[in-house]
Amino acid sequence: MNKTVIGLLAGLFLTACGGGASEGTPPGGNNPPGGGNPPTGSFPAELSGIWQDTLASGGEFTNLYTGVTFNMTQGYSAQFKVRPNGEFYFAHYSQGVSSTCALVSFFDQMVGQAEFTGSRLVLRPRERRLDVQNCANSGSLNLPLSPVSFDAVVSEYETFLDTTAQMELSGGPYPLKFKLLNPTPPANPPQPPQPQDFQLGTETPYQEIIGLWGHRDTEFYNPQTGVYRFPDCCGENRFLRFTAEGYELGMAFVRVNLEGVCKKDLIYFEKGNALFKVTNQRDPDTYQGDVRLEATQARLIVRIRECSSEGGVQEYTLKPLTSYHRWSYTLPAGREDFMLGCHYPGHAWSPYICYTSGQGPWYNLERRQ
């Protein structure tokens, strides 16, 4: 196999599974599958994209092509990039120790044509290379170009912030549980009905809560111009602005995915009409109730980075949906704050509104203006 060609085709994720740069990195560029004669096949559009799987440690494993048995103390990182025309890049990197060597690593790469039919994934490589680091036998092997087949089960997979797809592979050289990095948002998600125990009010935002409320960075999205920027670091940032007419809501999250080398960041924004109702007064300074947020505009911006030529920004105009929430407001005399509650069933975009870092159904916002 021509190392130059495979290097140019291999958009690599060679960061060690434990988080640092891996040793024994084979030659290779930083580009995705491509080049050569374009394929003429097809792959299910809904399954096309970037799939990743990472395992911190993987127990004892025998490499089928070298016969070496080693303990994957650093686990593995795997990636499957596939386009709608079937062109694919597959990579599997594993690292650990053997009985005779303190550092063993295997890096299996292939490019070619992928087919998915029923419950079967078949990879037909036109180039394939295995790079080996071992105390006694390091080097590169040109592997056979025979088809590589897996039994495949695709299912819905919920991350801590959104819902994607999982492709569980078995029956091949590696058991894998790939997750799709950036699924296309549904075009027409259902609008849930008003919850039975929700009390619909008639009041627009109260004068006391009009203004800007936020958590960390609140300047990542300009509702007037649509101009945005991704925060430098890390995790969740949000704003909620109430006006006399309604609301503007934004959430930015840096490093959404927990697996794989390609990183995903996102910004969600919506605006619309808000109707409030006071249902109880918890104490002399704190009022609580229900609020309906009826979006008239919704937008999702996704950035893929550290992913060679598949990196970049994708923007989606979403179907505006209505959500139902609890709210709580404490007057300035009692340390002013505003809390939005996520007690009621949500819709397709609700995770972007209601992500609460595992701190229960409420999230707290500080007054900024």
Point out the residues of the chain with pLDDT beneath 70.
1-41, 57-58, 61-62, 64-65, 70-74, 334
pLDDT digits (tens, 9 = 90+) for 52-98: 998 876 677 667 667 777 566 667 889 999 999 999 999 999 888 88
Q: pTM for the full model?
A: 0.85
User: How does pLDDT run across 127-152, given as a tens digit for each residue?
Assistant: 999 999 888 888 998 999 999 999 99
The pLDDT assigned to 13 comes to 32
Please give the Cα distance from 33 to 52 (Å, whole number): 15
Across the chain, mean pLDDT equals 86
Q: Give the per-residue pLDDT at 12.
A: 33
